[in-house]
Every structure is written in C-alpha cells, then in structure tokens.
Amino acid sequence: MDDGWVKMDLHSHSHYSYDGLSSPAELVKAASRSGIRILAVTDHGTVQGGKEAQEFAMARPELNVQVIVGQEVYVGKQDVVALFVYEDLPAYKAGQVETALSDIHEAGGLVYAVHPFGHERLAYGLSWRAFFRDVDAVEIHNACPVNLFANRQARTAHNLAWIDYGSSDIPVALASSDAHSVTAVGSSFTWFNGYTPDDLHQAIQSRRQQAFRLVRGYWSMRATANVFENWWKNRKNWPT
C-alpha cells in the first residue's frame, strides 16, 4: 500500500468479554506483530479491556499500536459497537436501539454497526433509512466464519444504500476481525489513509469512504475452533 495508509482493526475482544480468550496486553502485542497500527478493543458490556489495552500500548511506543477504547453494547440480542467511549454504557432492551445510539453519540462516541445482519440482528430493527442515517460506520465484513452469509447481506445493503442516498449520506463501510483470541487479530482489517485516532474520528464522521480500503479474510480453522470450544465451555455465562 502507498505511504500514508495504515492497517486498522476496529472490533476485537479481550478476556473482559465473557467469550474472549486473550488479555488486552496480548491483543496489543498480536496487533503489533500483524502490523495493525490502530486497534479498537470493544468488549461486551465494558470499556475496561479497551482502557487497559490503551494504557499498555501507550507505555510501549516501540509496539507502534494506537488503541481506541470502545465497547460492544448490548441492545437486546443485538450488539452495536461504540468507539471512542470511556465509561461503561448500560445494557439496553430490545427495541431501545434508538436510545442506545443517541447515548453513544452523547458520550462523544461513534456508532459502528457490527455484523448488522448476523444472527437475529437484521439491521437492528431500524428502518432502512434510519439505519443508514443514524449509525456512523457499518461492518460489511466480519471475519468470524459464521457471518459468511450475513456479510454478503451487509455488503448488498450498503451497495443499495449507496445507490439510494449517495456515498456522502451513508455510513462508511469497514472490515474488521471481531477477534476473540490473538490468533484472529489481523484476519480481516481496513487500510486507513491517516494515522491518528483523531484523523480516524474525523474521516468516519465526515463519511469519507475514500479514506478506507477493505481487506476481507476469515479466522483460521484453529482460531475458530479455539473460540467455539471456549464459547461452549462458558455457555452458562452467555448473555440472555
């Protein structure tokens, strides 16, 4: 890639998530090894993993990783990622997605609609127009292999919205790993034409799609097996 482009991954989980396998420090080190320069740690229900990762990375400039603190916020059975938030957001009930989105924005955060068509999520139950107006970024590629078909739906939806509303009126499309272990970090990522988290905040907020280039991959067999084994072992902790 030309100068001025850095690799970033805006969706990852540490062991602060009920289903995460690695410590925040291990995630940062794995990002560094994969050449990821901007990593968002977005644990289920808490910003603690992100904060710890950020502290770890700031104390080790030689790793060359900048961490964005985030949280994957529960909204019923749907999850939405808040980026650039520093206080835990609560769990919202199904149907409260509009409240969740406005709380995230009020906290100064950006809304990253991850796997919008995964599982039972169906674009968060928002209307088509609301979905493409009220979120800031859409994950059109998630590297967890169960999202194979949901990724296709997300990509199609984003393309259609582009035709309907034009590129400056729709959220930017991004690809991320949704890593739950160090082995999945960097399996999918986005090139970003900028460097600092401030540049990134601005590029997302101004919906500058040309600042992003997506690299779409999937978790390896080993990473997938590790995570699913752990999910099953911890099934009593699954959110209801």
Compute the least distance from the CB of residue 13 to Zn ion, in Å.
Answer: 6
The footprint of Zn ion on residues 23-52 (CB under 5 A) is: none
Q: How far is the C-alpha of 127 from the C-alpha of 147, rounded, in Å?
A: 22
For Zn ion, the closer of residues 52 and 178 by Cβ is 178
Cβ of 213: how many Cβ atoms within 10 Å?
A: 14
The footprint of Zn ion on residues 64-83 (CB under 5 A) is: 72
Compute the least distance from the CB of residue 171 to Zn ion, in Å.
Answer: 17
- Does 19 participate in binding Zn ion (rule CB under 5 A)? no
Compute the least distance from the CB of residue 163 to Zn ion, in Å.
Answer: 29
Sort residue 123 into left (φ over 0), alpha (ψ -120 to 50) or beta. Answer: left
For Zn ion, the closer of residues 72 and 134 by Cβ is 72
Residue 221: burial class (beta carbons within 10 Å; 0-12, 13-18, 19+): exposed
For Zn ion, the closer of residues 37 and 180 by Cβ is 180
HSE at residue 240, side-chain half, CA atoms within 13 A, is 1
Contact map string, positions 136 to 175, toward Zn ion, x by CB under 5 A: ----------------------------------------
Which positions ≥6 away from 177 have C-beta within 8 Å? 9, 11, 12, 143, 184, 185, 186, 187, 188, 189, 219
Among 8, 45, 178, 182, binds Zn ion (CB under 5 A): 178
Specify the DSSP element, H or E, that contains 156. Answer: helix 148-165
Radius of gyration of the chain (CA): 16
For Zn ion, the closer of residues 136 and 178 by Cβ is 178
For Zn ion, the closer of residues 7 and 121 by Cβ is 121
Q: Which residues bind Zn ion (CB under 5 A)?
A: 72, 178
